[in-house]
Amino acid sequence: MSPLIQATGLSKHFSGLRAVSEVSLSCERGMIHAVIGPNGAGKSTLLNLLSGETKPTDGMVFIADQDVTGFSSHQMSLKGVGRSYQRTNIFDNMTVLENCNIAVQSRSRISMRFLGTTSNYPDIESQSKSILKRVGLLSVAYQLVSELSHGAQRQVEIALALATNPDVLLLDEPLAGMGAEESQTIIDLLRDIRLDYAMILVEHDMEAVFALADFLTVMLNGEVIESGLPQKIRASKKVQSAYLGEDAGE
Amino acid sequence: MGKNFKSLVIGFVLLSLMLFPFFGERFYIQFASKILVMIIFVSSLNLLVGFTGLVSLGHAAFFGFAGYVLAILMQVDSSTHFVTALLISISCVGLLGLVFGVLVLRTKGIFFIMSTLALGEMLFYFLHDTDFAGGSDGIYIYSRPNLSIFDFWDVDLANAVHFYYVALVFVCLTLIFIGRIIQSPFGRVISGIRVNEHRTKALGYNTYKFKLVCFVIASMIAAVSGFLAAVQFGVVNPEMVGWHVSGHALMMVILGGKGAILGPVLGTTTLMITEEIFQMLTKHWQLLTGLVIVLVALFFPNGLAGIRIFKKGGSM
Residue B79 has pLDDT above 90, yes or no: no
CB contact under 8 A, B205 and A111: yes
Instruction: Determine how many CB atoms are found less than 10 A away from the CB of residue B77.
Output: 11
* B204 vs A contacts (CB less than 8 Å): 74, 77-78, 106-107, 164
Q: Of A91, A93, A119, which has the smallest distance from its Cβ to B199's Cβ? A: A91
Bridge partners (DSSP) of residue A67 are A62
Q: Which of B178, B182, B184, B302 has the highest number of chain A CBs within 10 A, making it the mutation to test binding with A? A: B184
Contacts of B262 (CB under 8 A, 6+ apart): B175, B256, B305, B310
pLDDT for B104 equals 95
pLDDT for B151 equals 66
Q: Which of A90, A96, A102, A123 has the highest number of chain B CBs within 10 A, making it the mutation to test binding with B? A: A102
Q: Write phi, then psi, for B5 (nearest 5 degrees).
A: -60, -40
Q: What angle do CA B109, B114, B115 make, to 5 degrees?
A: 100
A71 has a chain B CB within 8 A of its CB: no
CB contact under 8 A, B202 and A94: no
Q: Where are the domains of chain B?
A: 26-243
What is d(CA A16, CA A33) in angstroms, rounded to the nearest whole number? 29
Give the side-chain half-sphere CA count within 13 A for A160: 29
CA A72, A75, A79, A81 torsion-angle sign: positive
Strand A198-202 to B147-149 pairing:
unpaired
Instruction: Determine how many CB atoms are found less than 10 A away from the CB of residue A185.
Output: 18
Bridge partners (DSSP) of residue A12 are A20
Q: How far is A194 from chain B (nearest CA, A)?
A: 20
pLDDT for A245 equals 60
Search chain A and give the residue with CA nearest B194.
Answer: A91
Query: Residue ranges of the alpha helices (H) in B105-206?
Result: 109-129, 160-183, 185-202
A5 has a chain B CB within 8 A of its CB: no
CB contact under 8 A, B185 and A72: no
CB B54 within 8 A of CB B48: yes
pLDDT tens per residue, range A91-130: 998 999 999 999 999 999 899 988 889 988 999 999 999 9
Q: Write phi, then psi, for B48 (nearest 5 degrees).
A: -80, -55
Query: Residue ranges of the alpha helices (H) in chain A?
Result: 43-51, 73-78, 96-105, 122-135, 150-163, 180-193, 206-212, 230-235, 237-244
What is d(CA B73, CA B255) in angstroms, rounded to the nearest whole number? 36
Q: How much is the average pLDDT of A40-49?
A: 92
Max avg pLDDT among B38-47, B132-141, B237-246, B284-293: B38-47
CB contact under 8 A, B180 and A114: yes
Q: How far is A62 from chain B (nearest CA, A)?
A: 18
CB contact under 8 A, B185 and A105: yes
DSSP string, B25-85: -HHHHHHHHHHHHHHHHHHHHHHHHTTT----S-THHHHHHHHHHHHHHHHH-TT-BHHHH
> DSSP 3-state assignment of A196?
helix
Least confident window among A45-59, A61-75, B61-75, B295-309: B295-309
Q: Quote the mean pLDDT of chain B.
A: 89
Q: How far is A247 from chain B (nearest CA, A)?
A: 35
pLDDT band, very low/low/confident/very high, at B308 (cuts 50, 70, 90):
low
Contacts of A130 (CB under 8 A, 6+ apart): none
Residue type, B274: T
Across the A/B interface, how many CB contacts are shorter than 8 Å?
Answer: 93
What is d(CA B94, CA B89) in angstroms, rounded to the nearest whole number? 8
CB contact under 8 A, B199 and A90: yes
Residue type, B209: K
pLDDT band, very low/low/confident/very high, at B293 (cuts 50, 70, 90):
confident
pLDDT tens per residue, range B28-73: 999 999 999 999 999 999 999 999 999 999 999 999 999 999 999 9
What is d(CA B79, CA B76) in angstroms, rounded to the nearest whole number? 9
Residue A59 has pLDDT above 90, yes or no: yes
Q: How far is B188 from chain A (nearest CA, A)?
A: 7
Q: Which of B181, B188, B220 has the highest number of chain A CBs within 10 A, making it the mutation to test binding with A? A: B188
Task: Please give the CATH architecture assigned to the domain spanning A5-244.
Answer: 3-Layer(aba) Sandwich (3.40)
Q: Which of A111, A112, A131, A156 has the highest number of chain B CBs within 10 A, making it the mutation to test binding with B? A: A111
A111 has a chain B CB within 8 A of its CB: yes
What is d(CA A135, CA A193) in angstroms, rounded to the nearest whole number? 10
pLDDT over 70 percentage in chain B: 96
Search chain B and give the residue with CA nearest A121.
Answer: B185
CB A31 within 8 A of CB A6: no
CB contact under 8 A, B188 and A117: no
Burial string for B111-144 (b: 16+ CB within 10 Å, else e) reads ebbebbbebbbebbeebbeeeebbeeebbebeeb
> DSSP 3-state assignment of A56?
coil
Instruction: Determine how many CB atoms are found less than 10 A away from the CB of residue B76.
Output: 8
DSSP string, A224-243: EEEEE-HHHHHH-HHHHHHH
Search chain A and give the residue with CA nearest B217.
Answer: A114
What is d(CA B48, CA B221) in angstroms, rounded to the nearest whole number? 11
What is d(CA A59, CA B99) in angstroms, rounded to the nearest whole number? 36
Q: Write phi, then psi, for B306 (nearest 5 degrees).
A: -85, -5
pLDDT band, very low/low/confident/very high, at B155 (cuts 50, 70, 90):
confident
Closest by CA position to B266, among listed B303, B299, B313 = B303
pLDDT band, very low/low/confident/very high, at A234 (cuts 50, 70, 90):
confident
* B52 vs A contacts (CB less than 8 Å): none
Task: Quote ipTM for the complex.
Answer: 0.90
pLDDT for B314 equals 42
CB B133 within 8 A of CB B139: yes
pLDDT for B42 equals 97
Q: Of B183, B198, B205, which has the smallest distance from its Cβ to A89's Cβ? A: B198
CB A120 within 8 A of CB B187: no
Q: How far is A72 from chain B (nearest CA, A)?
A: 9
What is d(CA A2, CA B189) in angstroms, rounded to the nearest whole number? 35
pLDDT tens per residue, range B156-208: 888 888 899 999 999 999 999 999 999 999 999 999 999 999 999 999 999 99
pLDDT band, very low/low/confident/very high, at A78 (cuts 50, 70, 90):
very high
Contacts of A35 (CB under 8 A, 6+ apart): A25, A43, A46, A47, A200, A201, A202, A216, A217, A218, A219
Give the side-chain half-sphere CA count within 13 A for B203: 31
CB contact under 8 A, B202 and A105: no
pLDDT for B3 equals 75
A100 has a chain B CB within 8 A of its CB: no
pLDDT for A248 equals 42
Q: How much is the average pLDDT of A32-50?
A: 92
Residue A249 has pLDDT above 50, yes or no: no
What is d(CA A80, CA A150) in angstroms, rounded to the nearest whole number? 27
Strand A31-36 to A198-202 pairing:
parallel
Residue type, B113: I
pLDDT for B316 equals 39
What is d(CA B27, CA B276) in angstroms, rounded to the nearest whole number? 12
CB contact under 8 A, B184 and A118: yes
* A124 vs B contacts (CB less than 8 Å): 185
- Continuous segment of H or E residues that includes residue B292: helix B285-299
Instruction: Determine how many CB atoms are found less than 10 A away from the CB of residue A111.
Output: 22
Residue A250 has pLDDT above 50, yes or no: no
What is d(CA A219, CA A19) in angstroms, rounded to the nearest whole number? 11
